[in-house]
Structure 1
């Protein structure tokens, strides 16, 4: 008698949760599909039924990471100060990277050779960037920033990712105040450099 298929949304959600926890505890080098299956009290074939292979599971984890990050960014309220609203996204991004350091590494560094993101994963990353571009567009419309909105979003996210990597690697400072200061310096210096040029007196 053939084995019953185990493709259920509940199992898929459970496996993703367990996979992210396994990555967090075992690290990139210790992450295996077998370990995820064992911790989820299921079988490796059941994992493959849902995700095709290890690369499919990793892609789903990337997608889930961007979904979680996007949901957190969306909670940041809008006010009458567009520039402050944009700046407030960065601590949320930082907090996510600190809460899920190895998931963030998977999302942004792609440490597995077999991990090639597909259209869904690319769209998930773009949805996070869209939160930033929406806030940046408000700043540009208000005359607070100048430049291409997409370019600014890419550069700001690259800065935030770089600072997060430095902080997680303990290269950004030896005390909380020094780390906070360097985050503020980096973000505010970047945004200051994007301010519109003052009108010429000529």
Structure 2
């Protein structure tokens, strides 16, 4: 008899449930019985897919960065690297809003049930920054950003956008300074801070907004 094939759908379901429980209720809610009940599966499935609870928590983190990478790689390279950079920021935000529980776990906003991230785990996050580093280098080469270290620029962009999104997810950004208004202003400010001219930065950020749906947000298939 051939071994039973693992169901990728139940694996994803378990990861999403674990992330939600950690983010909303804390580590005390994370048990094989609770996971199995919410997934409509047996407790053995948890062990079959992840080996142990620590393996499941590690996969929550890895899955979070994999989904983030998926959004970032959808951003196409164009002749306007500053617009590309702004769209990477939009992709980062879109991923966080689409996967808030994963986002909380992968960046330490939720307790990991006694499981500590290793340097290897954190490397997944650093790897996703490669897209931003490459784009920053193109902005420097094009003369849109002042001469500097592309990797440092990428880290500055990352930390600034991450901070704003953390406030947004926490419900701290409300009218008249809501998330949309602050995010659009921050994108322009980041580009100008890196050395771009205000008018050029404003145009590029606006262009990235027009590209958002086609490259980052999934376009619904026509019905009927």
The answer to whether the superposition gives a TM-score over 0.5 is yes
Q: CA deviation at 1:139?
A: 0.7
Question: Which residues of 2 match residues 1-202 of structure 1 at below 5 A?
Answer: 8-10=5-7, 13-21=9-17, 23-24=19-20, 27-29=24-26, 30-109=29-108, 111-113=110-112, 114-118=114-118, 120-145=120-145, 146-174=147-175, 178-195=178-195
Q: Distance in 1 between matches of 2:98 and 2:45?
A: 29
Look up the SS of the partner of 1:87 in the other structure: helix
Per chain length, whose mean CA-contact separation is higher, i.e. which structure has more relative contact order (CA < 8 Å, sep 6+)? 2
Flag structure 2 segments of 5+ consecutive residues without an equivalent: 198-224
Structure 2 CA distance for partners of 1:195 and 1:138, relative to 1, 3 Å: same
Q: TM-score, normalised by structure 1?
A: 0.80
Structure 2 CA distance for partners of 1:120 and 1:28, relative to 1, 3 Å: farther
4+ residue segments displaced more than 6 Å: none
Contact preservation (8 Å) 1:86, 1:136: yes
Q: TM-score, normalised by structure 2?
A: 0.73
Flag structure 1 segments of 5+ consecutive residues without an equivalent: 198-202
